Protein backbone atom coordinates (compact mmCIF):
# COMPACT_ATOMS: atom_id res chain seq x y z
CA UNK A 1 0.00 0.00 0.00
CA UNK A 2 1.22 3.50 -0.77
CA UNK A 3 2.70 5.61 2.00
CA UNK A 4 2.19 9.36 2.30
CA UNK A 5 4.96 10.81 4.48
CA UNK A 6 4.99 7.64 6.57
CA UNK A 7 1.21 7.14 6.73
CA UNK A 8 -0.67 4.52 4.77
CA UNK A 9 -3.85 5.59 3.00
CA UNK A 10 -5.86 3.89 5.75
CA UNK A 11 -3.96 5.83 8.42
CA UNK A 12 -4.40 9.09 6.50
CA UNK A 13 -8.14 8.41 6.26
CA UNK A 14 -8.32 7.60 9.98
CA UNK A 15 -6.35 10.74 10.84
CA UNK A 16 -8.64 12.98 8.80
CA UNK A 17 -11.69 11.45 10.52
CA UNK A 18 -10.28 11.43 14.06
CA UNK A 19 -11.41 13.91 16.66
CA UNK A 20 -9.31 14.84 19.66
CA UNK A 21 -10.52 12.50 22.42
CA UNK A 22 -9.64 14.68 25.41
CA UNK A 23 -8.42 18.02 26.68
CA UNK A 24 -8.94 21.59 25.67
CA UNK A 25 -9.64 20.67 22.04
CA UNK A 26 -11.64 17.52 22.75
CA UNK A 27 -14.22 16.85 20.05
CA UNK A 28 -12.42 18.84 17.34
CA UNK A 29 -10.98 17.18 14.26
CA UNK A 30 -7.24 16.69 14.73
CA UNK A 31 -6.54 18.61 11.54
CA UNK A 32 -8.25 21.69 13.04
CA UNK A 33 -6.23 21.86 16.24
CA UNK A 34 -3.73 24.73 16.59
CA UNK A 35 -0.04 24.10 15.95
CA UNK A 36 0.91 24.99 19.51
CA UNK A 37 -1.17 22.12 20.88
CA UNK A 38 0.58 19.55 18.67
CA UNK A 39 3.90 20.95 19.83
CA UNK A 40 2.89 20.84 23.49
CA UNK A 41 1.61 17.24 23.25
CA UNK A 42 4.80 16.09 21.57
CA UNK A 43 6.93 17.79 24.23
CA UNK A 44 4.84 16.05 26.91
CA UNK A 45 5.67 12.68 25.33
CA UNK A 46 2.17 12.05 24.02
CA UNK A 47 3.43 10.90 20.63
CA UNK A 48 3.92 7.20 21.34
CA UNK A 49 0.62 5.80 20.02
CA UNK A 50 -1.56 6.22 16.92
CA UNK A 51 -2.94 9.57 18.11
CA UNK A 52 0.60 10.76 18.74
CA UNK A 53 1.73 9.59 15.30
CA UNK A 54 -1.08 11.61 13.73
CA UNK A 55 -0.25 14.67 15.84
CA UNK A 56 3.40 14.43 14.82
CA UNK A 57 2.31 14.22 11.15
CA UNK A 58 0.09 17.30 11.55
CA UNK A 59 2.83 19.16 13.42
CA UNK A 60 5.09 18.57 10.42
CA UNK A 61 2.27 19.65 8.08
CA UNK A 62 2.18 22.98 9.94
CA UNK A 63 5.93 23.39 9.56
CA UNK A 64 5.94 22.73 5.82
CA UNK A 65 2.74 24.65 5.09
CA UNK A 66 0.61 21.74 3.88
CA UNK A 67 -1.84 22.01 6.79
CA UNK A 68 -3.93 24.53 4.84
CA UNK A 69 -4.41 21.99 2.05
CA UNK A 70 -5.42 19.29 4.54
CA UNK A 71 -7.86 21.65 6.24
CA UNK A 72 -9.33 23.06 3.06
CA UNK A 73 -9.64 19.75 1.28
CA UNK A 74 -10.40 17.46 4.24
CA UNK A 75 -13.86 16.49 3.03
CA UNK A 76 -12.69 15.82 -0.54
CA UNK A 77 -9.71 13.80 0.69
CA UNK A 78 -11.95 11.71 2.97
CA UNK A 79 -14.36 10.92 0.13
CA UNK A 80 -11.53 10.08 -2.27
CA UNK A 81 -9.80 7.83 0.27
CA UNK A 82 -13.12 6.12 1.05
CA UNK A 83 -13.51 5.19 -2.61
CA UNK A 84 -9.92 3.97 -2.91
CA UNK A 85 -10.06 1.91 0.27
CA UNK A 86 -13.28 0.16 -0.81
CA UNK A 87 -11.55 -1.18 -3.93
CA 29 to each of CA 2, 14, 86: distance values in angstroms, whole numbers, following the listed order: 24, 11, 23
Summarised one tens digit per residue, pLDDT across range 9-67 is 999 999 999 999 988 899 999 999 999 998 888 888 887 889 989 999 999 999 999 99
Question: Which pLDDT score is estimated for 56?
Answer: 92
- Burial class (CB within 10 angstroms; exposed 0-12, middle 13-18, buried 19+) of 7: middle
Whole-prediction pTM value? 0.85
Dihedral sign for Cα 34, 58, 38, 51, please.
Answer: positive
Q: Where along the chain do its domains lie?
A: 3-86
Task: Tell me the β-bridge partners of 4.
Answer: 7
Amino acid sequence: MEQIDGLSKTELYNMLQMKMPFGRYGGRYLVNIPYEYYSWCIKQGMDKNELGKFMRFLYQAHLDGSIDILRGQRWNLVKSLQRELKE
